[in-house]
Amino acid sequence: MTVYVRSLETAVPATKLIQSEARDVFAAQPGLSRLGSRLVNTCFDGAAIETRFTAVQELTNASRSENPQFYDPDTGLLLNPSTKVRNDIFAREATKLFVEPARAALQAAPELDLLDITHLVTVSCTGFFNPGPDYKVVRELGLSPSVQRYHLGFMGCYAAFPALRAAKLFCESDPNAVVLVVCAELCSLHVRTSNDPDTIMGSALFADGAAAAVVTARPGVEEAALLKLDHFETVLTPVGEDSMAWNIGDHGFEMVLGNYVPHIIDDHIVGALQPLLAKDPELAALPYTAIPHWAIHPGGRSILDKVQSRLGLSDEQLVPARDILRNYGNMSSATVLFVLKHILEQPLHPDGRHDGEAICSMAFGPGLTVETGLFTKLRQAAACTWDPGLRESAAVASLMPGQDRMTEMA
């Protein structure tokens, strides 16, 4: 049975961070050592990021709050709220970020009714609340109250792959299934000033964003589907358990991203790809450069550099990952879906295979875990023509429970 991604949409919060401005704020904090200050400048400037988005409006100088919790623009001080304060904001802001791309993904599949959704898989590692995001999406969109709901929490940057893999399995076991997958991360809730290199790196890389996909194997969907979900694999590298982690502290979640991570990926990426490519003998017999598209999670510039060097990929094959990193930063689990959407928005190659174009995709996370997937691009997706950071000026149609057809976005 062939399982398809019928639609794929993304969203970010309205507040845009300029990397150079954020660098200057972090570098000016009074508690930094001389080494810490140098690390801030090095990490921010070397991240290959120009802009990011955040749900924390007060992280910009343009915002004013009577009781600032994260940043006081009058003094220039970064504040250090408790984990409870940060998580309370997650509970308030995450629902918006989950719902927006989910609504857009459903509207992009007008042949499906709201009540056609049989399964919902939500993903996040940046906060907790219950009733959780899965519940909120059902209520906000007006999905059937009998939708089967699953939440994948605290898995990290690779979690979109287990979510898509679960959706594929649901569709293979039930030919009538229609699965809505939504990843939303508010990583910026956990930034703070510090002399710790891992904390500085996290502040330089991480951002907020969300993505949603509609997955199904229903007959006839291939006429409008964007992707085929062909194969997935998971590999744990023999080293790296202590090099990448995500822990809960008293003042937010604490990232561990050791500088040895790119070297681990460099040593083990070829072995991690072998079981995936073995599932497609035609691709396995080709050099990596012959696979037209590579949807690589941009965990950081140095990770992309190592993957490109080790696999011998061209600069063109890394454009989608580097573009997403430059314009959005690392949005944890949602990021690789942004990269996939970037690939889908490009025209099909005129001399490509008649049955679609192969995409090899991968993401890395705690463990060190390497998740990989093989997909087939079937057609070009409609490109986003509006700035997602300016949505407050755009009217978005709401969906009512039981509505027979998706309404169009205003």
Q: Cite the active site residues.
A: 157
In angstroms and rounded to an integer, the radius of gyration of the C-alpha atoms of the chain is: 21
Our measurement of the distance from residue 94's CA atom to the centroid of its chain's CA atoms, rounded to an integer in Å, reads: 14
Our measurement of the distance from residue 56's CA atom to the centroid of its chain's CA atoms, rounded to an integer in Å, reads: 18
- Rounded to whole angstroms, what are the CA distances from 78 to 61, 248, 390? 12, 20, 25
Q: Residue 368 in contact with residue 237, Cβ under 8 Å? A: yes
Q: Residue 402 in contact with residue 142, Cβ under 8 Å? A: yes
If you write DSSP's letter for every residue of 38-103 in order, what string do you get?
HHHHHHHHHT---EEEES-GGGSTT---SS-SSEETTTTEE----HHHHHHHHHHHHHHHHHHHHH
Element (H, E) at 339: helix 335-344
Our measurement of the distance from residue 212's CA atom to the centroid of its chain's CA atoms, rounded to an integer in Å, reads: 10
